[in-house]
Structure formats: structure tokens, C-alpha cells
């Protein structure tokens, strides 16, 4: 049994090494066998005089050893087949290999998973700091130029709004099932369909909501602990985002329900068991600020109707701290409001 364990370990090592090797290299089956017989004779050496008697016992041992050798051969053949299959899959998955100065060794686990299509050249992913930070967003990808050249970008410091009788936002939300995703930039919640808002005769459906810490928008220069952005879309694909500012106070049950379903891994969707009642998150007072802006993440697309609720909703410091464990800072800096009209409920 010890022998077969050793062989198995060795074969696994050989398999790993083989997977790392370029496909032209032959399978090291012979080397494996050599190692195997060396081990077998080493074992014999440790058992002197008694064995020379060639008793029935030693014959049985010999037979068992033969069996082990045969089993090892079969295993080696199986591994060779598996490696050939893996190589075939790998070649099929990447029909046009890109020449790279250094190819990191592949692990078996990586070979099994289809790799994400990589852009040509090195790609810097957008982030909130470092070389992929907000100042670089416009240059990271041709699709992101609005992040640099746009004149109606978000977020802004909301001040000097024109006080008018704004049409109330009619939230038609109901308890629905939802899933939670950590997309690498924020925690994003996707409720199932059936949540609508109606404003100025236009109907939008809630697509997702997500969080920023601290709040991206400011009110007369003031930052808030966090903000939730409820992203809605109309039938033509136009976006309307409702921002609800979050500040310290009592713990919020809706936020808690989302946190309870935080995924353990990024890019992994957790489907929650209980329904989420988003009406509980909407401030009682309906006053809001409104202006035309953009997505606050690449590609920074413009033409987004923003509605920022005036009444702040409370979360506990613990709830903010939980988000901070994942994203301590995921807010785009304030953009130039460039004379845009801001209206607010009076």
C-alpha cells in the first residue's frame, strides 16, 4: 500500500509537470516506470536473509507487487489519456495563441476552466486608485472616452438648485426575490422584475442597485457615509438613477438583508432565500434634487436622469464597517457641474 501511495503521488506530480510542459514533450511514462522499479528494489534491499528462503509468503508478496506494478501502469496510461484530452481542450479553447514574453505555468485547475478572453496587449482594469484610477479611466479603453471628454458627468456637488414643485417620484416596488454579486467594484443587488418608478409620466423598471462608500454625490459640499444607487431603465434603454444617501443611525433591515447574503467570492452570484421589500428603503419624504448626468463608472455614458433623495436614510456604523471590509473607498471624485441645471423640490 505504501508503494502505491508513493506511485500515486509521483504520478500526480508527473501529471502536473506534464500539464505545464509544452505539448510537444512526450509523456514521461518510462521515467515513471524507472523510478518505480528503483523503489521496488530499494524495498527488497531492506529485507535481506528471510526473503531468500523463497517461501510461499514471499511468492505472495511478489504477486502483490506485480499487481501493484500493473495497477501503476494502468494508472499511468489513464493519466496519459487524460493529459492528451486536456491538451486537446486547451488547443481548442485557444485557437490563436498570442505570443507573450513570459507565459506563467498553467495549473491543472486553470486548464479545466475556460479562460476569459484577454484584450491584445496588457490590460489595466479600472479601479478607484493606482494606475487604473479615475484619472486614467478615459484612456484605458476607447469606449471610455466620455469619462475624459464628457461635459455632463457624475457625480457632482449638488448646490444652488432651482427650487420648484417637482413631480413626485412614484415608487411601485414590491417584495421580490433577489441575488447579490460582488463585481469587483461594489456589491450589486439584482432584484427580480416587477419594481417600477414613474416620474413625469415616464415609466422605468429597477434593474439593479449598488453601493458606494463614501457617497459619490455631495450636497453643498457635504459627503455622506455611503450611498445606494437604484438603477432604472425605460423601454428605450434610457437610465434613471435614484440616489439614497446613507448616514449613521439605527441599523437598516434592508441593508442587513443584503449583507446577510454577501457572496464569499467575487463574481459569484448568491441567490437569497427571502424576498426583499425595497419600499422600506425609500425615504418617507419625497423631496429630491434632479439633474442630467452620467454613469459614475466606465464607460461614463451620459444622458442619465439623476434623482437624489433629500432625506437621508440611516444605517449603523457596523453596517458601514461591513461594506468597508470589502470596499473602503469606491467613489468617483466630484465632476465639474459645468453650469448644468439642478432642480430641487421646495
Q: Which stretch binds Zn ion (CB under 5 A): 81-89, 200-208, 228-236, 334-342?
A: 228-236
Q: Tell me if residue 324 falls in helix, strand or coil.
A: helix
Residue list 108-127, contact with Zn ion (CB under 5 A): none
Residue 229 within binding range of Zn ion, rule CB under 5 A = yes
Query: Based on the number of CB atoms within 10 Å of its own CB, is 228 exposed (0-12), middle (13-18) or buried (19 or more)?
Result: buried
- Taking the complex as a whole, the smallest distance from the CB of residue 210 to Zn ion amounts, in Å, to 5
d(CA 63, CA 60): 5
First and final CA of the chain: distance in angstroms? Answer: 83
Taking the complex as a whole, the smallest distance from the CB of residue 95 to Zn ion amounts, in Å, to 38
CA distance 217 to 331: 9
Minimum distance of Zn ion from residue 119's CB (angstroms): 24
Instruction: Single out the segment in contact with Zn ion by CB under 5 A; choices: 17-25, 47-55, 223-231, 298-306.
Output: 223-231
**Among 18-26, 54-62, 135-143, 224-232, the segment contacting Zn ion (CB under 5 A):** 224-232
Least separation in angstroms between residue 212's CB and Zn ion is 5
CB of 239 to Zn ion, least distance (A): 11
Query: Is 185 labeled as catalytic in the residue annotation?
Result: yes
Residue 198 C-beta: closest distance to Zn ion, Å: 22
CB closest to Zn ion, residue no: 229
d(CA 213, CA 281): 17
Q: Which is nearer to Zn ion, 83 or 227 (by Cβ)?
A: 227
Q: Which one, 80 or 331, has the nearer CB to Zn ion?
A: 331
Cell representation of residue 63 = 504477486
Q: What is the DSSP string of 143-171?
A: GGTHHHH-SS-S--EE-SPEEE-PPPPEE
Contact stretch for Zn ion (CB under 5 A) within 33-41, 60-68, 76-84, 227-235:
227-235
Name the residue nearer to Zn ion (CB basis): 19 or 312.
Answer: 312
Q: Sign of dihedral through CA atoms 210, 216, 218, 224?
A: positive
3-state SS class at 315: strand
Instruction: Output the CA torsion 292→296→299→301 (10° steps).
Output: -10
Marked catalytic residue, from 122, 125, 185, 212: 185
Instruction: Report angle CA 211, 309, 249 to the nearest 5 degrees.
Output: 65
Output 76 or 331, the one with its CB closest to Zn ion. 331
Instruction: Number of residues interacting with Zn ion: please give it, by CB under 5 A.
Output: 1
- Which residues does 107 contact at the CB level (< 8 Å), separation at least 6? 16, 19
Residue (19 or 295) nearer to Zn ion, CB: 295
CB nearer Zn ion, residue 330 or residue 345: 330
Catalytic residues: 185
Give the residues lining the site for Zn ion (CB under 5 A).
229
Amino acid at each position: 500500500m505504501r508503494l502505491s501511495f508513493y506511485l500515486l503521488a509521483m504520478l500526480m506530480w508527473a501529471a502536473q509537470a506534464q500539464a505545464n510542459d509544452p505539448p510537444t514533450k512526450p509523456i514521461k511514462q518510462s521515467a515513471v516506470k524507472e523510478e518505480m522499479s528503483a523503489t521496488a528494489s530499494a524495498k527488497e534491499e531492506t529485507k535481506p536473509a528471510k526473503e531468500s528462503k523463497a517461501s510461499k509468503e514471499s511468492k505472495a508478496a511478489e504477486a502483490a507487487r506485480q499487481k501493484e506494478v500493473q495497477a501503476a501502469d494502468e494508472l499511468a496510461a489513464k493519466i496519459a489519456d487524460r493529459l492528451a484530452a486536456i491538451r486537446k481542450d486547451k488547443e481548442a479553447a485557444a485557437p490563436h495563441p498570442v505570443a507573450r514574453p513570459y507565459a506563467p505555468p498553467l495549473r491543472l485547475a486553470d486548464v479545466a476552466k475556460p479562460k476569459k478572453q484577454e484584450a491584445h496587449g496588457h490590460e489595466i482594469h479600472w479601479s478607484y486608485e493606482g494606475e487604473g484610477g479615475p484619472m486614467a479611466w478615459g484612456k484605458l479603453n476607447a469606449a471610455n472616452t466620455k469619462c475624459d471628454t464628457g461635459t455632463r458627468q457624475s457625480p457632482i456637488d449638488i448646490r444652488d438648485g432651482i427650487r420648484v414643485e417637482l413631480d413626485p417620484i412614484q415608487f411601485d416596488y414590491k417584495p421580490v426575490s433577489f441575488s447579490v454579486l460582488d463585481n469587483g467594484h461594489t456589491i450589486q443587488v439584482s432584484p427580480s422584475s416587477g419594481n417600477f418608478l414613474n416620474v413625469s409620466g415616464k415609466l422605468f423598471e429597477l434593474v439593479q442597485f449598488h453601493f458606494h462608500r463614501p457617497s459619490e454625490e455631495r450636497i453643498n459640499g457635504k459627503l455622506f457615509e455611503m450611498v445606494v444607487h437604484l438603477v432604472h431603465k425605460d423601454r428605450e434603454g434610457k437610465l434613471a438613477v435614484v440616489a439614497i444617501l446613507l448616514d449613521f443611525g439605527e441599523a437598516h433591515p434592508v441593508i442587513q438583508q443584503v449583507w446577510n447574503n454577501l457572496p464569499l467570492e467575487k463574481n459569484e452570484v448568491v441567490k437569497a432565500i427571502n424576498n426583499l421589500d425595497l419600499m422600506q428603503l425609500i425615504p418617507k419624504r419625497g423631496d429630491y434634487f434632479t439633474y442630467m448626468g452620467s454613469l459614475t463608472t466606465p464607460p461614463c455614458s451620459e444622458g442619465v436622469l439623476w434623482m437624489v433623495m433629500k432625506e437621508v436614510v440611516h444605517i449603523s456604523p457596523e453596517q458601514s464597517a461591513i461594506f468597508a471590509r470589502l470596499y473602503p473607498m469606491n467613489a468617483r471624485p466630484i465632476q465639474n457641474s459645468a453650469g448644468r441645471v439642478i432642480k430641487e423640490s421646495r
